[in-house]
Amino acid sequence: MTERVIVIGGGPAGLMAAEVISAAGFGVDIYDAMPSVGRKLLRAGIGGLNLTHTEPAADFVQRYGAQHTRVGEWLQQFAAQQVRDWAAGLGIETFVGSSGRVFPLGMKTAPLLRAWLQRLGRQGVRVHPRHRWCGWDDAGALCFSTPHGTRKVDAETTVLALGGGSWQRLGSDGAWMPWLAARQIAVAPLRPANCGFEIRWSDHLRQHFAGQPVKSVTLRVGAEQRRGEFLITRHGIEGGVVYAFSAALRDAIERDGQAVLSIDLCPDRALPRLSADLQHPQGRDSLANHLRRRAGISGVKAALLYEAAHADQLHHMPQLAALLKALPLTLHATRPLDEAISCAGGVMFSELDAQLMLHALPGVFCAGEMLDWEAPTGGYLLTACLASGKVAGDGVVARLLSRESRQSARGYPTPP
Ligand SMILES: Cc1cc2nc3c(=O)[nH]c(=O)nc-3n(C[C@H](O)[C@H](O)[C@H](O)COP(=O)(O)OP(=O)(O)OC[C@H]3O[C@@H](n4cnc5c(N)ncnc54)[C@H](O)[C@@H]3O)c2cc1C
């Protein structure tokens, strides 16, 4: 009987690998720990599934930071346009939002995932839910924990697409790391990416402003600046433009024990103008009214100002203007990995060939977020997961075809 390829992990990376391998005529079995596949993908669709981004390819690839060269190789196979074409092939048209982000019409994941699983079913892919992979036994068989006990599966060709370590309740928990490390595969520790940060808020700010968005501000970290919005949380800040800086902020906290970001609360007014506006006579206005009337600062923005300002700065208008243009916030820690949108770390690229096969374990390929890359939100995560699934799937097909051609040259029968 023809060998079937084992894909472990039914997220976007594993499903894409399964699609490519089955389209080439090889049998595929997908094993997943959860009762159904694609749970994180479905969760990503709540609030709008951001599939990819339309910015120029040269800018797009830079989003992968230190790993842009390796991820760029995947994107040469499968990038933003291919993501859109692929979705269209599943009957899901896409549109470009105002920020260049690409979403499915209707914004939802469920129709896309449904059509995708139907296509995989037509291509003969079998899905085995509730099969938690627990590593290899001494003979090299894959071991799965199932509701009916341990199941062992011999496999010559395996794709691991086990995801990262955030939102563990959706399936990916990073439990695979020691099993690969035991096989001498270098794995970088998983760290939060696109994550929230902790700030020592006063009780007043926490009680009255947690959950409120801070809109239309510019954040600066070092020489980088970006406009957007973010959310005040009980613990600190998260979301939106904070995610764009989260790698730099996380690295600074790991290095220095804290990170400082600066917020421009009045990005549409230059400092001299703001300072002049605030120096208008205050008359009988309270400071709160003066700030609201002269600088448009009220609500959560005023609360942030009071949180960061010293008492003597509040009555010196040029100093107050300078503070509004560059309000420093000190971040003490990242929020836990489990809360992050994605993670950094994972199987290091030194362990993988160009087709994402492990040098140390021939026949074992890896794809998706379990590899050591990271990117901001904006559709870059899913694009790279899909692209790596495509590269690993192509790698599997090339390996199986070359084995078949070697066998037929030796006179062995080849699979139908
Ligand atoms: C709230 C949220 C919103 C997001 N929104 C977006 C977005 O809009 N755009 C975007 O680009 N990205 C988004 N992401 C990120 C994106 O969803 C992930 O990067 C992507 O799903 C990772 O794909 P993957 O296939 O590598 O892993 P996963 O999707 O995590 O899939 C891994 C699979 O492996 C299975 N698995 C893990 N361990 C085992 C095991 N031991 N045995 C068997 N099975 C196992 C899991 O059950 C899971 O099904 C979002 C993430 C979150 C949490």
Domain count within the chain: 2
The answer to whether residues 113 and 140 belong to one domain is yes
Distance CA 135, CA 181 (A): 11
In a domain, 224, yes or no: yes
The answer to whether residues 219 and 140 belong to one domain is no
Of all atoms in ligand 1, which is nearest to the CA of residue 10? 49
Closest C-alpha to ligand 1, atom 29: 11
Burial call 304-326: b when 16+ CB within 10 Å, e when fewer: bbebeeeeeeeeebebbbebbbe
The answer to whether residues 161 and 56 belong to one domain is yes
> At a CB cut-off of 8 Å and minimum separation 6, what does 54 contact?
80, 96, 100, 101, 102
Alpha-carbon Rg for the chain in angstroms: 25
In a domain, 414, yes or no: no
DSSP 126: E
Q: Is 342 in the pocket of ligand 1 (CB under 6 A)?
A: yes
Distance CA 241, CA 211 (A): 16
| 162-214 pLDDT per residue, tens | 999 999 999 999 999 999 999 999 999 999 999 999 999 999 999 999 999 99
Rounded to the nearest whole angstrom, what is the distance from the C-alpha of residue 312 to the centroid of ligand 1?
49
**How high is the pLDDT of residue 404?**
84
3-state DSSP assignment of residue 102: strand
**How high is the pLDDT of residue 246?**
95
Closest C-alpha to ligand 1, atom 52: 341
Q: How far is CA 345 from the centre of its chain?
A: 12
Rounded to the nearest whole angstrom, what is the distance from the C-alpha of residue 358 to the centroid of ligand 1?
21
Q: Is 369 in the pocket of ligand 1 (CB under 6 A)?
A: yes
Distance CA 171, CA 166 (A): 9
Say how many C-beta atoms besides its own lie within 10 A of residue 137's C-beta.
11
CA dist 199 to 203, 205, 253, 261, 362, Å?
12, 11, 12, 11, 46
3-state DSSP assignment of residue 189: strand
Q: Is 130 in the pocket of ligand 1 (CB under 6 A)?
A: no
> At a CB cut-off of 8 Å and minimum separation 6, what does 105 contact?
92, 93, 94, 95
In a domain, 31, yes or no: yes
Distance CA 93, CA 74 (A): 23
Q: Which of 247, 274, 278 is nearest to 261 (CA)?
A: 247
Q: Which of 369, 316, 314, 317 is nearest to 343 (CA)?
A: 369
Q: Are strands 364-366 and 158-160 parallel, antiparallel or unpaired?
A: parallel
The answer to whether residues 211 and 161 belong to one domain is no
The answer to whether residues 270 and 354 belong to one domain is no
Task: Give the residue, out of 382, 386, 391, with the most ligand 1 atoms within 8 A of its beta carbon, to mutate for a pocket test.
Answer: 382
Q: Which of 388, 416, 387, 295 is nearest to 83 (CA)?
A: 387
3-state DSSP assignment of residue 307: helix
Structure tokens at 142: 């894959």
Distance CA 196, CA 218 (A): 17
**How high is the pLDDT of residue 414?**
54
Q: Answer for the pair 71, 382: CB distance below 8 angstroms, yes or no.
A: no
Distance CA 209, CA 307 (A): 12
Of 316, 334, 352, the domain-final residue:
334
In a domain, 226, yes or no: yes
Of all atoms in ligand 1, which is nearest to the CA of residue 383? 11
Q: Is 163 in the pocket of ligand 1 (CB under 6 A)?
A: yes
In a domain, 415, yes or no: no
Closest C-alpha to ligand 1, atom 31: 11
The answer to whether residues 165 and 302 belong to one domain is no
Task: Give the residue, out of 78, 341, 370, 380, with the most ligand 1 atoms within 8 A of its beta carbon, to mutate for a pocket test.
Answer: 341
Rounded to the nearest whole angstrom, what is the distance from the C-alpha of residue 134 to the centroid of ligand 1?
18
The answer to whether residues 355 and 311 belong to one domain is no
Q: Is 14 in the pocket of ligand 1 (CB under 6 A)?
A: yes
Of 310, 334, 358, the domain-final residue:
334
Rounded to the nearest whole angstrom, what is the distance from the C-alpha of residue 238 to the centroid of ligand 1?
20
Q: Is 159 in the pocket of ligand 1 (CB under 6 A)?
A: no
In a domain, 416, yes or no: no
Rounded to the nearest whole angstrom, what is the distance from the C-alpha of residue 144 to the centroid of ligand 1?
20
The answer to whether residues 13 and 161 belong to one domain is yes
Closest C-alpha to ligand 1, atom 5: 44
Q: Is 346 in the pocket of ligand 1 (CB under 6 A)?
A: no
Distance CA 141, CA 143 (A): 6
Of 304, 334, 364, the domain-final residue:
334
Instruction: Identify the domain containing residue 402 by its residue range.
Output: 5-192+343-409
The answer to whether residues 132 and 64 belong to one domain is yes
Q: Is 351 in the pocket of ligand 1 (CB under 6 A)?
A: no
For residue 332, the cross-strand partners are: none
How confident is the prediction along the chain (416 residues), in pLDDT tens digits per residue? 467 999 999 999 999 999 999 999 999 999 999 999 999 999 999 989 999 999 999 999 999 999 999 999 999 999 999 999 999 999 999 999 988 999 999 888 999 999 999 999 999 999 999 999 999 999 999 999 999 999 999 999 999 999 999 999 999 999 999 999 999 999 999 999 999 999 999 999 999 999 999 999 999 999 999 999 999 999 999 999 999 999 999 999 999 999 999 999 999 999 999 999 999 998 899 999 999 999 999 999 999 999 998 888 888 999 999 999 999 999 999 999 999 999 999 999 999 999 999 999 999 999 999 999 999 999 999 999 999 999 999 999 999 999 888 887 777 655 54
Closest C-alpha to ligand 1, atom 14: 44
Distance CA 163, CA 49 (A): 18
Q: Is 44 in the pocket of ligand 1 (CB under 6 A)?
A: yes
**How high is the pLDDT of residue 258?**
98
Q: What DSSP element (H or E) covers 329? A: strand 327-331
The answer to whether residues 251 and 326 belong to one domain is yes
In a domain, 221, yes or no: yes
Structure tokens at 245: 């800086």
Average pLDDT value for the chain: 95
Task: Give the residue, out of 120, 170, 172, with the most ligand 1 atoms within 8 A of its beta carbon, to mutate for a pocket test.
Answer: 172
Within 13 A of 305's CA, how many CA atoms are on the CB side? 27
Q: Answer for the pair 250, 194: CB distance below 8 angstroms, yes or no.
A: no
The answer to whether residues 235 and 329 belong to one domain is yes
3-state DSSP assignment of residue 367: coil
| 391-411 pLDDT per residue, tens | 999 999 999 999 888 887 777
Q: Answer for the pair 239, 265: CB distance below 8 angstroms, yes or no.
A: no
CATH code of residue 161: 3.50.50.60
The answer to whether residues 157 and 45 belong to one domain is yes
Closest C-alpha to ligand 1, atom 1: 44
Q: Is 381 in the pocket of ligand 1 (CB under 6 A)?
A: yes
Distance CA 8, CA 132 (A): 9
Rounded to the nearest whole angstrom, what is the distance from the C-alpha of residue 171 to the centroid of ligand 1?
8
3-state DSSP assignment of residue 151: strand
CA dist 348 to 168, 175, 351, 356, 377, Å?
21, 16, 6, 11, 22
Structure tokens at 257: 């024990």
In a domain, 107, yes or no: yes
